[in-house]
Structure 1
């Protein structure tokens, strides 16, 4: 079940909100947890018992860790890490390693392997990171472990963030798991509803329209793709993945605000970045911070020699690519971004500083090429597509519908208008406001109604409604 489906919008979500708001304060967590279990069971019933078992084990391992001292405390932490990373490795990467081992074996004259494909449970990457966050934060003394097992389960399985984040660290909502009264206001509910509908509109009215053409172009054989068509396909996907994923994050954050949770921001106009370094401060922010604090810093961070620092950056981003998907093109995508992070530190940042705002252009073009690696089904397919972008024939203007051209224009405007500092400040103030003055509240209400009508009309009238990050 995805947020942009008719099942969620017309049945699950209204029923959940009605029960949640009618429930007394002491039962609100019970309603939220029950809804979360039903939400996950709808799409992953076969794995529900497995996840519940892993949550139970984590809860008691961390309780034991908190009571232990010295080397015993570290043993419990290691046990928790092995449990969570082991589950992720088995379900997400077994097929990848067996496929590659089989290919090597065949290349050396042996017979290929046969095995039953391991099915990937939805949301496992986000589940894993949040369970690891809880373990490590308690080990570091950032927070004491929760006393209630049910509160811990709610933290892990809370449905707005369950499938695709944002990645919420335990300490960010630890207090809210037991008391959300400070955020139980009309202003927060209205702002949350607006944020949800804004995300729904980004996903349905922009991402879906561009995604249809991106899918069509990337499905063509390389010989059928001219350079203009290749660039338009890459641009369509570039905007599709942003409005799809940021739209989902907006919906998650909006639902959270409507029930008293304050989730961290996950996107901040990434395409106005003036370097790849800045891009990763604006794109999938919660993943970038997680990688920095739980992987990059333990490797030594910036406190090591220059050569080791570059190696650490590359290692972190190769692992980031591999986290997104068990395929060589994802590894290449991570290495590609890692390369430009290193080049930023070597000389690119100095060049970008000299050209000022114009540095948005080369940064965006680098990002577009990187998304081809991310979108293509195989690494060889990605390289063939990039080759068409760079050396393909520049003949003719691709024939698209007016809807596509108009949506591409809207996506471009909405992606880059925050390059004006005043616009970015207005956006941040509108989306993060705790109190709404009457004119702003009226404006939000009208915008919410209009966007909701347009979005629902699109969903009802179209069968194309994918969600890109559902498989990660």
Structure 2
């Protein structure tokens, strides 16, 4: 069930009505109904993988209790490692087995050994990387004595499988989401309206921006050798808009849907393309994943406490692991390594915390210096996205070679004027709303009602007009 389909917008109002009806009955009933809705939502993808989700949930629930009740450190470690190994084992088999098998066979072939390692004909369960990280954070926090285990199986199951975040995040923490599930939620008209507004903006990002940019970007990336350098640049830029509109659009729909139900999720994007350096970009892009790796990998490895060598080493580790988390392909690992190289100057010079506030806060225009830094950061990010999008590392290098040719100064063939106009208007809206939770959070609130609703109607008509290009969300494959 995609967020950008009619099926979802039949499902969501039904859940909304039943959910708030149950609010007058009991919290337990409300959570049971929400859990059933979440399992139905997931089963719409492939009902067989629902059993994997339930097994993973039950494993972490049980091992969490056993760790907390363990009488010895040895017993506590046993249950902890059981959960970690089984969870990562499932993730490894479904997501990474074929990659390792093929890579090992290729490695042996360089030494003259031809081996035939069998691969698995299996489908990657949607959302497995996300709900696995939900469970891992939970068991790690119990193991580190940060939280006590949740003894209500319904509440814990809902924490793992809550449908707005189930298949593509944000990656929630038990400390943030579970307390909200255990207390009575009161309906807020303001939050509901704001949630609908955020859903609308998320759909604009996905349907109008991402899906339109995808048409041009896909045509360029699928056949890069037949395009000029300028077209390759435009294709890479359009992919940058596509992946941002696609993923942040999903997050906005997820957060907005959850606000309709009185539950606040973690903010996942904070205008990353207005960042002035790579460190700031990674504080604003896929925030829930970045902070997950910071808290559960970077800091346990020693963080920045062991001198410059440890800081550099740990930074490379989290970026390489982050790349590998995205997919079983060398392109993602190179993408992670490239971002690690990008951020090294600010790590070494200790300037990675220089830009904590949004750019040009309280002003209409940025300074010339900030503008140049934004352009440079965006340009470096676009280059990295080429590796993320390319089918192979060799194709990515061929793409870059094509960019840095004499034809880079030519006018792109088949110039997509409509898409350029849409991206320009989108950037303007994001810039004007960059100090808000999402771009149109306060847009038009001071207008007369008829003008404000005319603006919303215009956005809805845009969705209807461009809705025929329906495409899957990119991050569903991760």
TM normalised by structure 2 equals: 0.90
2:281 pairs with one of 275, 279, 282? 279
RMSD, aligned CA: 2.5
2:436–2:442 CA contact under 8 A, matched in 1 = no
CA separation in 1, counterparts of 2:410 and 2:446? 54
2:276–2:377 CA contact under 8 A, matched in 1 = yes
What corresponds to 2:129 in structure 1? Answer: 125
Q: What pairs up with 1:304-323 in 2 under 5 angstroms?
A: 304-323=306-325
Aligned-pair distance for 1:276? 0.4
CA separation in 2, counterparts of 1:396 and 1:451? 31
1:455 pairs with one of 455, 459, 463? 463
Asked if 1:378 corresponds to 2:388, the answer is no
Secondary structure of 1:367's counterpart equals helix
Does the C-alpha gap of structure 1 residues 445 and 427 become closer, same or farther in structure 2, counting only changes over 3 Å? farther
Asked if 1:75 corresponds to 2:78, the answer is yes
Asked if 1:61 corresponds to 2:63, the answer is yes
Aligned-pair distance for 1:204? 0.4
Asked if 1:140 corresponds to 2:139, the answer is no
Identify the structure with the greater helix proportion.
Answer: 1
Asked if 1:254 corresponds to 2:262, the answer is no
Q: What pairs up with 1:31-42 in 2 under 5 angstroms?
A: 31-42=33-44
Residues 230-266 of structure 1: CA distance to partner in whole angstroms, max 9, x if unpaired?
0000000001110110000000000111101110100
CA separation in 1, counterparts of 2:405 and 2:440? 44
Aligned-pair distance for 1:295? 0.4
Aligned-pair distance for 1:447? 4.6
What corresponds to 1:413 in structure 2? Answer: 428
CA separation in 1, counterparts of 2:453 and 2:264? 21
Q: Any unmatched runs of 5+ in structure 1? A: none
1:198–1:448 CA contact under 8 A, matched in 2 = no
1:210–1:240 CA contact under 8 A, matched in 2 = yes
What corresponds to 2:181 in structure 1? Answer: 177
Aligned pair count reads: 459
Asked if 1:424 corresponds to 2:434, the answer is yes
Aligned-pair distance for 1:466? 2.7
CA separation in 1, counterparts of 2:219 and 2:439? 38
Asked if 1:84 corresponds to 2:87, the answer is yes
Aligned-pair distance for 1:118? 3.1
1:210–1:407 CA contact under 8 A, matched in 2 = no
2:147–2:175 CA contact under 8 A, matched in 1 = yes
Asked if 1:397 corresponds to 2:412, the answer is yes
2:155–2:178 CA contact under 8 A, matched in 1 = no
Does the C-alpha gap of structure 1 residues 174 and 106 become closer, same or farther in structure 2, counting only changes over 3 Å? same
CA separation in 2, counterparts of 1:85 and 1:440? 54
- Relative to structure 2, which stretch is displaced further, 436-445 or 154-163? 436-445
What corresponds to 1:50 in structure 2? Answer: 52
TM normalised by structure 1 equals: 0.91
1:296–1:313 CA contact under 8 A, matched in 2 = yes
2:221 pairs with one of 218, 221, 224? 218
CA separation in 2, counterparts of 1:443 and 1:255? 25
Aligned-pair distance for 1:180? 4.1
What corresponds to 1:102 in structure 2? Answer: 105
CA separation in 2, counterparts of 1:178 and 1:401? 50
1:468 pairs with one of 468, 474, 478? 474
Secondary structure of 1:311's counterpart equals helix
Does the C-alpha gap of structure 1 residues 221 and 187 become closer, same or farther in structure 2, counting only changes over 3 Å? closer
CA separation in 2, counterparts of 1:445 and 1:86? 51
Asked if 1:15 corresponds to 2:25, the answer is no
- Relative to structure 2, which stretch is displaced further, 381-390 or 245-254? 381-390
Q: Any unmatched runs of 5+ in structure 2? A: 356-367
1:239–1:411 CA contact under 8 A, matched in 2 = no
Aligned-pair distance for 1:359? 1.1
Does the C-alpha gap of structure 1 residues 21 and 317 become closer, same or farther in structure 2, counting only changes over 3 Å? same
2:31–2:158 CA contact under 8 A, matched in 1 = yes
Aligned-pair distance for 1:127? 0.7
Residues 262-293 of structure 1: CA distance to partner in whole angstroms, max 9, x if unpaired?
10100011011111001000000111100100
CA separation in 1, counterparts of 2:437 and 2:60? 39
2:161 pairs with one of 157, 160, 169? 157
Aligned-pair distance for 1:90? 1.3
1:103–1:112 CA contact under 8 A, matched in 2 = no
1:137–1:171 CA contact under 8 A, matched in 2 = no
Aligned-pair distance for 1:298? 0.3
